A and B are shown apart, each in its own frame.
Chain A
Amino acid sequence: MVASRAIGSLRRFSAFRIPRSRGYICRNFTRSSALLTRTHVNYGVKGDVAVVRLNSPNSKVNTLNKEVQSEFIEVMSEIWANDQIRSAVLISSKPGCFIAGADINMLAACKTSQEATRVSQEGQRIFEKLEKSTKPIVAAISGSCLGGGLELAISCQYRIATKDRKTVLGVPEVLLGILPGAGGTQRLPKMVGIPAAFDMMLTGRNIHADKAKKMGLVDQLVEPLGPGVKPPEERTIEYLEEVAVTFAKGLADKKITPKRDKGLVEKLTSYAMKIPFVRQQVYKTVEEKVQKQTKGLYPAPLKIIDAVKTGIEQGNDAGYLAESQKFGELAMTKESKALIGLYHGQVLCKKNKFGTPQNEVKQLAILGAGLMGAGIAQVSVDKGLKTLLKDATVAGLGRGQQQVFKGLNDKVKKKAITSFERDSTFSKLIGQLDYKDFEKADMVIEAVFEDLSIKHKVLKEVEAVTPDHCVFASNTSALPIKEIAAVSKRPEKVIGMHYFSPVDKMQLLEIITTEKTTQDTTASAVAVGLKQGKVIIVVKDGPGFYTTRCLAPMMSEVIRILQEGVGPKKLDSLTTGFGFPVGAATLADEVGVDVAQHVAEDLGKAFGERFGGGNVELLKQMVARGFLGRKSGKGFYIYQEGSKDKNLNSDMDGIFASLKLPAKPEVSSDEDIQYRVVTRFVNEAVLCLQEGVLATPEEGDIGAVFGLGFPPCLGGPFRFVDLYGAQKIVDRLRKYEAVYGKQFAPCQLLLDHANSPSKKFHQ
């Protein structure tokens, strides 16, 4: 769960944020008056309730850094010292953010684990003061309350949260390879119970306010308000404050107790957790589960379990100590650096560096209602884009419409949206068989069959009916955009938008520009992709672009390994053991063996020997026998509807036998097999940067991890080179080159990095 989730959840987390600007500190002091104004934290007094307001200037979010912490403790000390004040409310003045987490730079600044441990201990010390406060403190939460923000909130005596979509609570530290280091591992289990606390800390998942209330994470909910005599967000925060003040008074007057009634299930659970034997079983089960899912590649989850266990079994002091020490250790791990790097890269790939497009895309049109086309349609209407979905046949269109509806309806089942919202979203999709209304389309994305002549045909048809400003985007995984654009009247408006399947789950979008594509066209494509919620890399045109191109030599190696007699199951376990979320053989089945064959042949022609290795004949024979992978029910494995177990496809034995290659014992150890697969991937990625297909190594890492499942714990091919060492990789490549030849020849850029160890892709 953790490993694969790390990909899925990265989009949502923001435990750590970087303040946008640091040049504001002196400003407020110029208008110093009798009243001491602080930069981030201020307070006012309502009756006998102090209202502490957090509002970091020049930033959309509040983060906990040293400055904020020291101001906060100053303010709290004044409140504790003031006899007129009997209780306090803690609130953010920013709509949409309570506290988004601790400042990631605090961690980056630590050179040793001892320093990181001190950061954790400082947080623990402050929150302990809050917890022991004799004056009740109410945390009034509106917007994101994550990481250190949630640890602060659970140190308070009472929590009230706004029940809106923006209000989420969570401890996403595990996704950065660390743990909640400010008392989180100690307080959460006591507050929500051991199983729920493990779930929160090991998955890093965001919890919405109403769920948080049910779990006991917050005590009261406040409904978001509509317009009154001021903007809704402003008034909602005010209202939250008013309600929180009432409760703070009530707590101080002992009219309200912070204890809450537990449900039967909860009572039973907490009773069971009092039995040491049951607790041991829980630890064991969770550890086994984590071990199975992370394959031991991610140290954070195990340390989290350890810290929780220490606190519960050996008492508070030991628990807090364990937490801070493990925090320090984790902060120095490669895995944490890799995951934090991915976080930074992801933030970067969520921005449009091409500026605001001249024409905002308001009407989208999609050609082809297949798996991809319908998937693109779903993520578009879901974000409010009016979308025309055109297919050639009623049956094809109907299937696509059903796919979109199912996608939305699944959200209703998960209670993410209401059935009414599903209906109004679905109404934004118009299915059709002709080009009606294409004259209003601002962008057309084609997702028709991967065949150049068909792509040419639809391009000409589309250009005949669309306005001049309309962007034509091709969703292809390998056909060069230049060749598609060759028949275009407006090649400057032609671009590639390579989505990944399933579109509603995979976050990556690879945008491909040709030499003729204008910057405005690129800006439009990026804007649409961002609207669809995608993480975007923009690469130059060429066979296979970036992602497919990296995948091809890796798959070629995979075929060779299979030919050498390593079974698909063994291969899968070797690759997942290295950190790939999906095993290599399974991946081929998921992508589709026919697609893999297409790509292998096309790219093989384009790049020649370097992409050789395995024999494409293997794929050809599979396709000929109908083993197309999951979609046809058979590939390397057999897939049965409703059954999760997959068995090997025994019919493959004959194919393997006919193409059998002798294994080379000097490069066939488990580790060598893993590295043969990975180094070819990494080498090709570095070559893409060398050739300028990739603009930045950050995009290369994001593309590999989010699009191809490159192990997140390694942070992407470029981070991997930095952390593992370029020289070591070159050594590996040389070793394999000696056996197999040029396919393993390291590229120049990689050699440059190996020759000067100070060279890093990520500074």
Chain B
Amino acid sequence: MPHDLARAALLGLLHRTNIPKEVVDYITFGTVIQEVKTSNVAREAALGAGFSDKTPAHTVTMACISSNQAMTTAVGLIASGQSDVVVAGGVELMSDVPIRHSRKMRKMMLDLNRAKTLGQRLSLLSKFRPNFLSPELPAVAEFSTSETMGHSADRLAAAFAISRLEQDEYALRSHSLAKKAQDEGLLSDVVPFKVPGKDTVSKDNGIRPSSLEQMAKLKPAFIKPYGTVTAANSSFLTDGASAMLIMSEDRALAMGYKPKAYLRDFVYVSQDPKDQLLLGPTYATPKVLEKAGLTMSDIDVFEFHEAFSGQILANFKAMDSDWFAQNYMGRKTKVGSLPLEKFNTWGGSLSLGHPFGATGCRLVMAAANRLRKEGGQYGLVAACAAGGQGHGMIVETYPK
């Protein structure tokens, strides 16, 4: 169940930080596909992890940027003086999504509950038809357009004229860089998890650098038969949870902590959920830079959520286009090109996986760790999300 994963992330955090449980004022988690039994998964996980029952907890949802929303909620709580110490995280259990009975079946079951006499029950039951049993599966599709995200990504790649080869190359880069980072032990934010009844998972298990030839053999996954988005150049859905300790600087120092990074600034953006579903980073990047008073050249580390190769490359092209900036962003000039040497150099969602609600914290942590490892002051985190939304955040390394 999702709260098991979330609990493990909390326990990992406690273990790493040695924070006394009672010091934590508030806990907030992001998640996308909710398990009905634990709709406030933050609270269930916190209780299970042994946090004080006096520590309130809530769960937020904002598609793929749910844990970003959890983090910025924590920032808000601290900034407004509500709390000093907040744990923010996210969790997603893609391997066990809730599958519902059909509406007709649900209605019949609810009506049966209300039926008083045997006759009423029997007459209700007589209305049963076998098709009542066909289940409702959750889909990664936009409610407003009914389009699946992969389909939208394929159209986006086509709109920006991004070839299959370019997409495969980028995916290969992600996997190769992730493999390298893993081998070099840079992915230090991973906590081993013992799967009940199975082996312990101690590292990301989706990193599979392949060859362009192998990747070229795959058939398109969404727009058949000529689309360009395939299983190999899409992020894969996986289980995962993440957690992060966010404190006011004063409190952290008073407690003797050496902070990793400041969460300096953030923005949320939204746009057309049909044709610009995955262009959130393009809109968020200039906005958050402007808000923080920075320019592209001030950024030492870029950490973007890789939903699809085509999505990342489309965002690159959109940011590098005066036409797009003028016609869709209300800007006079383009945002600018992103330096690839600073971009997702430890892999990304394509290779590390994408547990919807948990990805945000991983992005911020990767940015903070990269800043510490590679040197540099500012990191920029950006992500797109279903609903045509987006998020950008500036992370600043804590001076040594």
Check A420–B145 contact: CB distance below 8 A: yes
Instruction: Determine the chain B residues whose CB is within 8 A of the CB of A239 once the complex forms.
Output: 158-159, 161
Instruction: Determine the chain A residues whose CB is within 8 A of the CB of B158 once the complex forms.
Output: 223, 225, 228, 235, 239
Check B160–A229 contact: CB distance below 8 A: yes
Determine whether B305 belongs to the interface, using a CB cutoff of 8 Å to chain A: no
Within 8 A of B (CB), among A212-261: 220, 223-232, 235, 238-239, 243, 246-247
- Which single residue of chain A is at the shortest CB-CB distance from B314? A228
Cα–Cα distance between A285 and B318 once the two chains are bound (Å): 58
Instruction: State how many residues of chain B have any CB contact under 8 Å with chain A.
Output: 26
Cα–Cα distance between A41 and B324 once the two chains are bound (Å): 31
Cα–Cα distance between A235 and B146 once the two chains are bound (Å): 23
Q: Which of B156, B158, B226 has the most CB of A within 10 A?
A: B158
Cα–Cα distance between A230 and B317 once the two chains are bound (Å): 11
Instruction: Determine the chain B residues whose CB is within 8 A of the CB of A227 once the complex forms.
Output: 159, 275-276, 324, 327-328
Check A228–B324 contact: CB distance below 8 A: yes
Instruction: Determine the chain A residues whose CB is within 8 A of the CB of B342 once the complex forms.
Output: none
Instruction: Determine the chain A residues whose CB is within 8 A of the CB of B238 once the complex forms.
Output: none
Instruction: Determine the chain A residues whose CB is within 8 A of the CB of B154 once the complex forms.
Output: 223
Instruction: Determine the chain B residues whose CB is within 8 A of the CB of A223 once the complex forms.
Output: 151, 154-155, 158, 223
CB distance from A193 to the nearest CB of B (A): 24
Within 8 A of B (CB), among A22-72: none
Knowing A232-B275, A418-B146, A420-B145, say if A226 contacts B156 (CB, 8 Å).
Answer: yes
Instruction: State how many residues of chain A have any CB contact under 8 Å with chain B.
Output: 19
Determine whether B274 belongs to the interface, using a CB cutoff of 8 Å to chain A: yes
Determine whether B272 belongs to the interface, using a CB cutoff of 8 Å to chain A: yes
Q: Which of A224, A225, A231, A247 has the most CB of B within 10 A?
A: A225
Determine whether B323 belongs to the interface, using a CB cutoff of 8 Å to chain A: yes
Check A225–B226 contact: CB distance below 8 A: no
CB distance from A389 to the nearest CB of B (A): 25
**Choice from B144, B160, B161, B321 contacting A420 with Cβ under 8 Å:** B144
Knowing A235-B159, A418-B146, say if A229 contacts B223 (CB, 8 Å).
Answer: no
Within 8 A of A (CB), among B294-328: 314, 317-318, 321, 323-324, 327-328
- Which single residue of chain B is at the shortest CB-CB distance from A246? B226
Check B226–A243 contact: CB distance below 8 A: yes
Determine whether B128 belongs to the interface, using a CB cutoff of 8 Å to chain A: no
Instruction: Determine the chain B residues whose CB is within 8 A of the CB of A235 once the complex forms.
Output: 158-159, 161
Determine whether B257 belongs to the interface, using a CB cutoff of 8 Å to chain A: no
CB distance from A121 to the nearest CB of B (A): 38
Q: Which of A227, A232, A246 has the most CB of B within 10 A?
A: A227
**Choice from B145, B146, B155 contacting A225 with Cβ under 8 Å:** B155
Q: Which of B151, B155, B327 has the most CB of A within 10 A?
A: B155
**Choice from A220, A224, A228, A418 contacting B161 with Cβ under 8 Å:** A228
Knowing A223-B223, A243-B226, A246-B226, say if A228 contacts B160 (CB, 8 Å).
Answer: yes
- Which single residue of chain A is at the shortest CB-CB distance from B273? A420
**Choice from B274, B317, B323 contacting A226 with Cβ under 8 Å:** B274
- Which single residue of chain B is at the shortest CB-CB distance from A247? B226
CB distance from A373 to the nearest CB of B (A): 30
Cα–Cα distance between A247 and B225 once the two chains are bound (Å): 10
Check A229–B323 contact: CB distance below 8 A: yes
Cα–Cα distance between A243 and B223 once the two chains are bound (Å): 12
- Which single residue of chain B is at the shortest CB-CB distance from A224? B155
Q: Which of A228, A238, A239, A243 has the most CB of B within 10 A?
A: A228
Cα–Cα distance between A120 and B158 once the two chains are bound (Å): 40
CB distance from B325 to the nearest CB of A (A): 10
Instruction: Determine the chain B residues whose CB is within 8 A of the CB of A243 once the complex forms.
Output: 226
Cα–Cα distance between A223 and B224 once the two chains are bound (Å): 11
Within 8 A of A (CB), among B249-283: 272, 274-276
Check B276–A226 contact: CB distance below 8 A: yes
Instruction: Determine the chain A residues whose CB is within 8 A of the CB of B276 once the complex forms.
Output: 226-227
What does the 1/0 interface line of A246-283 toward B look like (CB < 8 Å)?
11000000000000000000000000000000000000
Instruction: Determine the chain B residues whose CB is within 8 A of the CB of A420 once the complex forms.
Output: 143-146
CB distance from B276 to the nearest CB of A (A): 6
Check A229–B144 contact: CB distance below 8 A: no
Instruction: Determine the chain B residues whose CB is within 8 A of the CB of A418 once the complex forms.
Output: 145-146
Check B323–A230 contact: CB distance below 8 A: yes
- Which single residue of chain A is at the shortest CB-CB distance from B226? A243
- Which single residue of chain B is at the shortest CB-CB distance from A420? B144
- Which single residue of chain B is at the shortest CB-CB distance from A239? B158
Instruction: Determine the chain A residues whose CB is within 8 A of the CB of B317 once the complex forms.
Output: 228-229
CB distance from B150 to the nearest CB of A (A): 12
Check B226–A226 contact: CB distance below 8 A: no
Within 8 A of A (CB), among B19-39: none
- Which single residue of chain B is at the shortest CB-CB distance from A228? B159
Instruction: Determine the chain A residues whose CB is within 8 A of the CB of B156 once the complex forms.
Output: 226
- Which single residue of chain A is at the shortest CB-CB distance from B274? A226
- Which single residue of chain A is at the shortest CB-CB distance from B275? A226
- Which single residue of chain B is at the shortest CB-CB distance from A160? B226
Cα–Cα distance between A675 and B386 once the two chains are bound (Å): 66
What does the 1/0 interface line of B126-169 toward A look like (CB < 8 Å)?
00000000000000000111100001001110111100000000
Cα–Cα distance between A230 and B321 once the two chains are bound (Å): 9
Check B143–A226 contact: CB distance below 8 A: no
Instruction: Determine the chain A residues whose CB is within 8 A of the CB of B151 once the complex forms.
Output: 223
Instruction: Determine the chain B residues whose CB is within 8 A of the CB of A238 once the complex forms.
Output: 161
Check A229–B321 contact: CB distance below 8 A: yes
Knowing A232-B275, A418-B146, say if A226 contacts B155 (CB, 8 Å).
Answer: yes
- Which single residue of chain A is at the shortest CB-CB distance from B144? A420
Instruction: Determine the chain A residues whose CB is within 8 A of the CB of B275 once the complex forms.
Output: 225-227, 232
Check B324–A229 contact: CB distance below 8 A: yes
- Which single residue of chain A is at the shortest CB-CB distance from B322? A229
Instruction: Determine the chain A residues whose CB is within 8 A of the CB of B314 once the complex forms.
Output: 228
Instruction: Determine the chain A residues whose CB is within 8 A of the CB of B155 once the complex forms.
Output: 223-226
CB distance from B341 to the nearest CB of A (A): 24
CB distance from B321 to the nearest CB of A (A): 4
- Which single residue of chain A is at the shortest CB-CB distance from B151? A223
Cα–Cα distance between A243 and B224 once the two chains are bound (Å): 12
Can you list 9 contacts pairing A with B, beta carbon distance less than 8 Å? A225-B155, A226-B156, A226-B274, A227-B275, A228-B318, A229-B321, A229-B324, A238-B161, A247-B226
Q: Please list the 8 inter-chain residue pairs (A to B) with the smallest Cβ-Cβ separation, ordered nearest first.
A: A226-B275, A228-B159, A225-B159, A228-B160, A229-B321, A420-B144, A239-B158, A223-B155
Footprint of B on A, CB under 8 Å?
220, 223-232, 235, 238-239, 243, 246-247, 418, 420
Instruction: Contacts A227-B328, A232-B159 known; list 8 others, CB within 8 Å.
Output: A223-B223, A225-B158, A226-B274, A227-B275, A229-B321, A229-B323, A230-B323, A420-B143
